[in-house]
Amino acid sequence: MNKLLAASALALSLIATSASAQAVRTEKNISLELANQIAAATVASCSAAGYNVAAAVVDRAGSLRALQRADNAGPHTLSSSQAKAYTSASAKNTTTAMMEGAQKNPAGANLVYMPGFLLLGGGVPIKVGNEVIGAVGVGGAPGGHLDEKCAMDGIAKVQDLLK
């Protein structure tokens, strides 16, 4: 009987320990300072190429952390950059890859109906290793591939901080 009680107590403590370990998670996320650095570097990259853009940086949950708009960038660039960043963070993928996937897969075409999603090039996830900690979205260059290049340049500027 004592062995049965001891085994039951041990099993219950293991279950409780396992449950509490799953209750709290530790996740990496983007800081405000890093988000501002990426936004500024992204806008600077596009400006150097002659493009007036906005760059939005969101955290891992898709919430806005930083938004910068170049002089002479159109007002629509604010919402498009934020939507691209949100889409990229949500799907943990580039918006170009998502757009191409949706074009090839009829079921994926329904992604355009998800609130806040924008399937145009220019959204790039920000990663530490394989973990997505946020995303940057760019709007305003004359093509999604150019928006995406600026986003990748902005991330590359802070690559040494993404460890």
For 21-78, write each residue's pLDDT tens digit: 678 988 999 999 999 999 999 999 999 999 999 999 999 999 999 999 999 999 999 9
* pTM for the full predicted model: 0.85
Q: Which pLDDT belongs to residue 36?
A: 98
Class of domain 32-161: alpha beta
CA dihedral 129, 134, 138, 144 (to 10 degrees): 50
Encoding tokens for residue 90? 């949500």
Sequence ranges of the domains in the chain: 32-161
Looking at residue 34, its amino acid is L
Q: How large a percentage of the chain has pLDDT more than 70?
A: 87
Q: Where residue 108 falls among pLDDT bands split at 50, 70, 90?
A: confident
Which whole-number Å values give the CA distances from 88 to 60, 95, 124, 133, in the listed order? 10, 6, 6, 11
Other beta carbons within 10 Å of 94 = 22
**Sequence-separated (6 or more) residues with CB below 8 Å from residue 90:** 62, 116, 117
Worst-scoring range by mean pLDDT, 28-37, 53-62, 95-104, 105-114? 105-114
Give the tokens for residue 69. 């708009």
Average pLDDT, the chain: 91
